[in-house]
Structure 1
Amino acid sequence: MPLSKDIHLPYQPWTDRRVTVDGDRLRVLVVNDNDDAAVAMATYLSVDEIEARAVFRGVQAIATGRTWAPHIIFMDISMPECNGFEAARALRSDPSTGAVAIVAHTALDEAEVRRHVSGSEFDGYVHKGWPLERLVALLWRFAA
């Protein structure tokens, strides 16, 4: 059953960034230090026109972002060693990953995330526990 792209969303993208898929499958990187949650979400997303991978640390997100070139990254914030803010800043500052859409996917509330953003690290926000079908609809908003 195809995942819906046409669901009303209470969360809207923070930016007007769009990623070009060019006939490929949409590549989504899931970053979460809860390994089981990351794998479960990547597995759910890996259907139809989406190819998803899971990594478990901010440093892995940076490395995978550079080598795999995802279109969209769902980034946990509270991770050890390199948190989601640091990883997003590193990805934004690298010419090879600067155009990727990055969505904060966290238990922190949206206002808290916005307080810690220093620039354009994130293109959107999704609270953990949000229904996956709505998360899918949000990610398709970034696809051109």
Structure 2
Amino acid sequence: MAKRVLVVEDNELNLKLFCDLLRAHDYLPEGVRDGREAVAKAREFAPDLIIMDIQLPHVSGFELINQLKADEALKAIPIMAVTAYAGREDEERIRAAGADAYVSKPISLARFVESVRVLL
């Protein structure tokens, strides 16, 4: 059975790219463009992995990670942050917030797929 991946990304082109890439590698992606919908969608979709942008409108990726990790039903789901924040201190802050992996934008397709594979 295909692993389920929730993708939280406000940029339509990036969302399509990530979902298409995941499908091409036999994952079952579900996209959400608004971080405010991510927790409810995660409860409904029951993903094996959450891939999310950190720079989201309405709710920051840091806040969203906190919400996901505070939810008993969701806290064990690994989170992969995909973000334009590319500094060493940015990666440390993102991992300290609770992300299990970090991929900087613009993404390397090979690194993206490998990070997904390792987390799943």
- Whether contact under 8 Å (2:95, 2:102) holds in the other structure is no
- Whether contact under 8 Å (1:58, 1:86) holds in the other structure is no
Match of 1:62 among 30, 33, 39: 39
Match of 2:83 among 103, 106, 122: 106
- Whether contact under 8 Å (1:73, 1:102) holds in the other structure is yes
Deviations 1:18-59 (A, max 9, x none): xxxxxx211111111112211221122113431111111211
Bigger mean CA offset, 94-103 vs 129-138: 129-138
Question: The residue matched to 2:55 in structure 1 has which SS?
Answer: coil
TM-align CA RMSD: 1.7
Q: Which residue in the other structure is 1:115 paired with?
A: 93
Q: Which residue in the other structure is 1:20 paired with?
A: none
Q: Which residue in the other structure is 2:6 paired with?
A: 29
Match of 1:39 among 11, 16, 22: 16
Bigger mean CA offset, 47-56 vs 83-92: 47-56
Gaps of 5+ in 1: 1-23
User: Which structure shows the higher helix fraction?
Assistant: 2
Count of residues paired in the alignment: 119
Which protein, 1 or 2, shows the higher relative CO under an 8 Å CA cutoff with sep ≥ 6?
A: 1
1:112 and 1:100 map into 2 onto residues whose CA distance is 22
Q: Which residue in the other structure is 1:12 paired with?
A: none
Task: Name the larger-Rg structure.
Answer: 1
